[in-house]
Amino acid sequence: MEPAARPARLALRGISKRYPSVVANDAVDLTVMPGEIHAILGENGAGKSTLMKIIYGVTRPDSGCIFWNGKEVEIANPAAARELGIGMVFQHFSLFDTLTVAENIALGLPGRHRMAELELRIAEKAAQYGLELEPQRHVHTLSVGECQRVEIVRALLGEPQLLILDEPTSVLTPQAVQALFQTLRQLASEGCSILYISHKLDEIRQLCHSCTVMRAGRVTGVCDPRQETEASLSSMMIGSEPPAVRPGDREAGRVVFSVRNLSVPRAHPFATPLSDISLDLREGEILGVAGVSGNGQQELLAILAGEDRRAPRESILFEGEPVGHTSAAWRRAQGLGFVPEERLGRGAVPDLSLAQNMLLSHQNRSTLRRGFIRRPVLRRLAGGIIDRFRVRAHGPQAVAGSLSGGNLQKYIIGREVTRQPRVLLVAQPTWGVDVGAAAQIRSELLTLRDAGCAVLVISEELDELFEISDRLVVMAKGRLSPPIPTREATLDLIGRWMSGLWDEGGHADT
């Protein structure tokens, strides 16, 4: 038990977890007091997720002790954690696609619930925290951002004493982030402890009372983030400051890929219809698309990538030729690259090796010959990406599902970048990625742009869009705002546009 006058809400002592090829946690100590907002900071693969899974009962530690409100406990499973009063929002969600939002939330709450009453509670809680949700909607129709909202609301409905949040603000506008922070501060003032995992150093400095820094499975320091700078926190986390990303001013080239007056109805009752979408992607330019998740970004990407072929033939032009009717495979063959927001299941096949996952985008004469897969070529290509993007993986034969979220994201980005596409569509390029890896990914996108590629980046990270985009547009309720040069945009303006409040009379050439 802690020697302080009041016991810690949570205390970990000497927690270790080993796997055959890696030590995920090495004698980790952690103390979280009642009402404390405590950040966990570390690179991708530093052991943060494993530690959180131990606290939530998903994983059993090999050694060490867990104290809850001063008493030693064993947390056998998530149900036991929830019974203690621990709630968690995972970076990779634990939702059933075929069930509704309300049904998924019901599975995470103790006891039985009348569905009508639960749906009302969900709607009220979601509205209270500014997280728009439709309780009767099926999860398979939701975007990644909307799934995260389900997880957050489910955790809050459990009235937790300790709430673990993993990258919780990636789906929110700047205004909504501040509203969430106000809510978290209110929860903390009422005695709820919060473990906050984020790679946004400014958030940690603004919100958190203390911070535990991890590197390679070990705790390397504990500090008050309010007394640190972003540079000092970054240095504690990765051993140095991240490389600066310098987009620079440049003249865009000719239009390579364009959309003209695209309107597409809902594919299902909960989808967002697209209304009169027009945009141009130019050689040597990054067009950033801002917006709260669930406003049509997922539907637009499916249309642009060729996964959804309902677009009128003349509404999409590739090198001036109408391609609205063509398949995703045909567009890839013409030089279109695509990074979806879902890493596992779409960006990569979890049960296949990294080398085998190369075939999702590298199907050409170098990897296939007379119908046979050239496995040595795949291994060499995968190994090159692992080295270039500093992916923490045990070689090309490592199973994709064994990688941390950030390392898998680096690999998927690398796989598409090394194709040297003429057009690249990217969704959430640095979601859940540490500051060093985020800087590298952004630098690679800028290098690709400088080589003449036309890049479309959809992101809820406004700082990221301001950092790398040449022009910005905002998506809200299935509509697209007029474009604006990034140097003329402000966070306040983009935040208001994310609510659909752009000038209806304003017109601009895209």
pTM of the model: 0.69
Token digits of residue 330: 């045909």
Residue 320's pLDDT is: 93
Beta-carbon contacts of 242 under 8 Å, excluding residues fewer than 6 positions away, are: 234, 435, 436, 438, 439
Residue 488's pLDDT is: 94
Residue 195 CA to residue 162 CA, distance in Å, equals 7
Low-confidence ranges of the chain (pLDDT < 50): 1-4, 504-510
Residue 507's pLDDT is: 39
Beta-carbon contacts of 178 under 8 Å, excluding residues fewer than 6 positions away, are: none
Residue 436's pLDDT is: 79
- CATH 3.40.50.300 in the chain: give the residue spans: 10-238, 242-335+421-510
Residue 147's pLDDT is: 82
Query: Which CATH architecture is the domain 10-238 placed in?
Result: 3-Layer(aba) Sandwich (3.40)
Residue 343's pLDDT is: 81
Token digits of residue 317: 């032009």
Query: Which CATH architecture is the domain 242-335+421-510 placed in?
Result: 3-Layer(aba) Sandwich (3.40)
Sheet containing strand 86-89, edge to edge, reads 86-89, 162-166, 193-197, 37-42, 210-215, 218-223
Q: What share of the chain in percent tops pLDDT 90?
A: 57
Residue 491's pLDDT is: 85
- Note whether 358 and 350 are within 8 A (CB): no
Q: Taking each helix axis as running N to C, give the angle between helix 405-417 and helix 375-388, from 0 to 180 degrees, rounded to the nearest 10.
A: 110
Residue 479's pLDDT is: 95
